[in-house]
Structure 1
Amino acid sequence: MSATPNAGAAPRIAPWNLNDLVEWDRRIRDKAAEFGLDCYPQEFELCDHTGMLGYMAYSGMPSHYPHWSYGKSYEKLKTLYDHGVSGLPYEMVINSNPAIAYLMRDNSLLLQVLTIAHVYGHNDFFKNNFTFKSTRAELTIEAFKAAAMRVRRYVEDPSIGVEQVERILDAAHALSWQCRRNLAIKKLTPLEQMARAEETAQGQPDPFQKIHARKQIEAPDFHKVPLEPDEDLLLFIRDHNPFLADWEKDLLTIVDEEAKYFISMMETKIMNEGWASYWHKKILESLELEQGLHLEFIVNHNQVVRPIPGQINPYHLGLKIWEDIYRRFTNPTAEEIKRDGPPVKSGTEKIFEVREVERDASFIRRYLTEDLMREMDIFEYEARGEELVVSKVADEEGWQEVKATLIKNVGTNSIPVLKVEDADFGQNRTLYVKHYHDGRDLHIEYAEKSLNYLQQLWGREVVLETVLDGKRSLLCCNDRGFSVRALK
């Protein structure tokens, strides 16, 4: 799901009807094809602010399983909207085939035209970026409907009921992002892991083994579960906790599948929004709008892609990088030619290539240049007492550090990586999980709540290895409560 934020201006009611939108959609679709965009069939639905709030609460899905957290989200969004604290998106589009987008009924004609063009940019990105290949867009709507029906059936079952269903969903939601981040990498089966472990133990062939001392081969422990660290926490619990009922396992599967559907959107937020902004700008500039519409377009476009002091606007950052890539491969400076050589591809060929093979972290690492960072005045700040102080700026010495910090906080990089190391630690079915520390300590209060949910699903003691204040530590959660122990 992707949404274009309302810049805060009051909605304008312009004289348009459904036939106008159909005609503008046709013109925009033709322009998108002319520019080389490759899209799924696109469907639009008009909705009022109440409908948009509902779609926002349910992540844009026309069908979704019930849970109290979605009602809470709806009430929060509605309260903020009613009190003028936040606006509503101009549009919302989901990754499916056909793609579905929601348009606000109260928007002006120009806003409808702009958002339709924006939607086709998202549509092309969903269809062609490699991170979305595993989402099975043609099955998205039916899969969410089927999951919603199954959850409602469990809620209505007298032997299960809403309280037990929500108990499992509460725990699953808390742990849902602890799953594989790069679904393009195939997960090995247990038999394939055993083969790799045996091959690793043998080591590389030695052409001089006749004159070398015999190498000691340590046989791998094939009884260890898992044989390799497993980052799919919910699926691991589903497959290795024998005391879970079938309906509980199904709920864990549903939550895991939904998280993996949305992982791609988290991993490409900057690229995706920048790409859609790039193309809505290019498409509308090519439509030869009348003067009034063109001026309104300039105002609304600039409001969406403007820099926001103190934070990163993904529309602004993404658009600037896409435009810079196109420029460097179309009209590079003499210094860029000297440094990188003459471009071997056109600007259009390059941006379509990048759109297909990158995610936010690699996109920023490869294409956010020192000059561009300085042009956008990107800096790093930190809290010192009650004040926020600029700690690094994008100068010759600090730009790489600022860029590294930005990369560490895009997509799923801000979510701690946890992997199951042993399902029978100490030979008493204790679940041993390791936090792959990246220099950022866990927040203890969140770690405690997450471990409580993990222990609830596992049914036995859970131990988490991490680093706190530079010391290797174990966080333990069992029937006696939560404890922290530093290791020597």
Structure 2
Amino acid sequence: MTDYTLAELAAWNEKIESKVREFGLDSYEQHFEICSYEDMLCYEAYVGMPSHYPHWSFGKAYERQKTFYQYNLSGLPYEMVINSDPCLAYLMRDNTLLLQILTMAHVYGHNDFFKNNRLFKRDTRAELTLEMFKAHADRVRAYVDDPSIGPEKVEHILDAAHALKFQVSRTGAGEPCSRRTLEQEKAEAVPGRIRHDLLAFLGEKGRLDDWERDLVNIVHAESLYFIPQIETKIMNEGWASYWHYQILKQLELPQGLYLEFLQRHNLVIRPHQQQLNPYFVGFKLFEYLDKTLGRERIMAIRAEDRDQSFIRRYLNQEMCREMNLFAYDTEDDYIVVSEVADDAGWKAVRDQLANSVGMGGIPAISPQEVDKGDLILEHDFEGRELELEYAQETIKYVARLWGGGVKIRTKLDGKDKVIACNQYQEIIIT
């Protein structure tokens, strides 16, 4: 049983929209859908999309989340919001009235961020989001239903593409090449256009049938859609949390709802043990910047930055100390504090955080050349070694899509090394 009616919820939404306009937020038209916790589990497994192609990994994610939820090992998201135009968000039916009000205000913060941040404006087409995912789902299901292809072959390619889904361009889809440039590229083993986009390279140059190539390109397109969300997690959640806080303070909530609001808000932005809470860091930074730089400036920051630049530019010693941030390292399998936010160490704390956010924690692997049929890859080594077990499994997936031998140049224990996978899926390290 809920403690509200849909009419009450609609009335509160109108009040929230009025405050959104007063504060100068600029959002897409907003649609809400009320769903059960089972539906929310499904949406979470399928990354929020009402239509998505089938793959065993989504079912695995659903069963895992369902088990964790049933045994109280994890909760469910209060809401889920999609970068689309109109913007679509799901609210869980079991939420209290106050929690629905808070999450609706939170959603408008995300909506404004999606519409105005440069990464989303440059690299996604919000008005085509739902159509894109539905078209992808229809094509994948058609291949599954095709008697000459079938589910096992489709899964074989999708498994490999999923393993490489973050090996895409970190600067967006880029501009299409001219006809003259494409003609020149025919002579290039690795065109400069896709030199920093391994999945796009494999989709274009791999020894694949047309339907296989299409599957790789589907995963590539969806990966590019999600990259801005990965690159702005702290900013996006911090912005939404900051605005739900500002909006609810001015909604003239009844006393009982106001007390629940303070409790819920503090639960959302509280620091977490042994991990970084992006809501906490983003909220504290936007709150500080609004007080010191002003409303106009934070509007510009939400439009211009991604997490890495946001942290480097605006996380100062005062905020490092207030949030009790520190840098850490590993010694003999133990995690040890390496720097604290004092005069000598706060910049190291800031830099370690900036280097770890967004795509910073994912190794960048780029195609370099083709040598006697073997694809030569380069690991962009920045002091962090590849996890050898994962690297060996990943190179097998690259070889599957390439259709031949693959080698990765990297560093292990301070020495130049090559991890190779031959046509028989055998791994050799030299």
- TM-score, normalized by length of structure 2? 0.96
Residue by residue, what CA displacement relative to the aligned partner does 1:181-214 show, whole Å, maximum 9, x if unpaired? 121754766955999xxxxxxxxxxxxxxxxxxx
In structure 2, the CA distance between the partners of 1:142 and 1:472, relative to structure 1 (3 Å rule), is: same
- Alignment pair present for 1:447 and 2:391: yes
Match of 2:221 among 239, 243, 257: 257
Partner SS state of residue 304, structure 1 = helix
In structure 2, the CA distance between the partners of 1:188 and 1:444, relative to structure 1 (3 Å rule), is: farther
In structure 2, the CA distance between the partners of 1:253 and 1:193, relative to structure 1 (3 Å rule), is: closer
Q: 2:260 is matched with which residue? A: 296
- Paired with 2:329 and 2:249, the residues of 1 have a C-alpha distance of 40
Partner SS state of residue 350, structure 1 = helix
Q: 2:197 is matched with which residue? A: 232
- Paired with 1:193 and 1:155, the residues of 2 have a C-alpha distance of 32
- Alignment pair present for 1:66 and 2:54: yes
1:130-169 matches, cutoff 5 A: 130-133=118-121, 134-169=123-158
Q: 1:198 is matched with which residue? A: none
Code of the residue aligned with 1:73 in structure 2: it is A
Q: 1:27 is matched with which residue? A: 15
Q: 1:483 is matched with which residue? A: 428
Q: 1:465 is matched with which residue? A: 409
Contact 1:382/1:389 (CA < 8 Å) preserved in 2?
A: yes
Contact 1:326/1:348 (CA < 8 Å) preserved in 2?
A: yes
- Computing the radius of gyration from Cα coordinates, the structure with the larger value is 1
Residue by residue, what CA displacement relative to the aligned partner does 1:67-110 show, whole Å, maximum 9, x if unpaired? 00100010000000011100101101010000110001011100
- Paired with 1:73 and 1:314, the residues of 2 have a C-alpha distance of 22
- Paired with 2:304 and 2:32, the residues of 1 have a C-alpha distance of 28
Q: 1:206 is matched with which residue? A: none
Q: 1:393 is matched with which residue? A: 340
Deviation at 1:392, TM superposition (A): 1.4
Match of 2:272 among 277, 287, 308: 308
- Paired with 2:107 and 2:341, the residues of 1 have a C-alpha distance of 33
Question: Sequence identity, in percent?
Answer: 51
Q: 1:358 is matched with which residue? A: 305
Partner SS state of residue 463, structure 1 = strand
Code of the residue aligned with 2:205 in structure 1: it is H
- Paired with 2:186 and 2:105, the residues of 1 have a C-alpha distance of 55
In structure 2, the CA distance between the partners of 1:442 and 1:190, relative to structure 1 (3 Å rule), is: farther
- Paired with 1:416 and 1:192, the residues of 2 have a C-alpha distance of 29
Code of the residue aligned with 1:484 in structure 2: it is I
Match of 1:404 among 331, 351, 368: 351
Code of the residue aligned with 2:429 in structure 1: it is V
Residue by residue, what CA displacement relative to the aligned partner does 1:385-434 show, whole Å, maximum 9, x if unpaired? 46432221111111111111111110001111111111x21xx2211111
- Paired with 1:309 and 1:188, the residues of 2 have a C-alpha distance of 48
Partner SS state of residue 178, structure 1 = coil
Q: 1:7 is matched with which residue? A: none
- Paired with 1:14 and 1:173, the residues of 2 have a C-alpha distance of 39
- Paired with 2:279 and 2:134, the residues of 1 have a C-alpha distance of 31
Q: 1:340 is matched with which residue? A: none
Partner SS state of residue 289, structure 1 = coil
Q: CA RMSD in A?
A: 1.8
- Paired with 1:449 and 1:188, the residues of 2 have a C-alpha distance of 33
Deviation at 1:468, TM superposition (A): 1.0
Q: 1:96 is matched with which residue? A: 84
Contact 1:131/1:184 (CA < 8 Å) preserved in 2?
A: no
Q: 1:179 is matched with which residue? A: 168
Contact 1:465/1:474 (CA < 8 Å) preserved in 2?
A: yes
- Alignment pair present for 1:283 and 2:218: no
- Greater Cα shift, 67-76 or 243-252: 243-252
- Paired with 1:86 and 1:237, the residues of 2 have a C-alpha distance of 37
- Structure 2's unaligned 5+ residue stretches are none
Match of 1:123 among 102, 105, 111: 111
- TM-score, normalized by length of structure 1? 0.85
Contact 1:172/1:255 (CA < 8 Å) preserved in 2?
A: yes
Residue by residue, what CA displacement relative to the aligned partner does 1:341-385 show, whole Å, maximum 9, x if unpaired? xxxxxx111011001010000000001111110111101233434
Contact 2:81/2:89 (CA < 8 Å) preserved in 1?
A: yes
Partner SS state of residue 381, structure 2 = coil
Contact 1:194/1:227 (CA < 8 Å) preserved in 2?
A: no
Deviation at 1:249, TM superposition (A): 0.8
Match of 2:373 among 429, 439, 449: 429
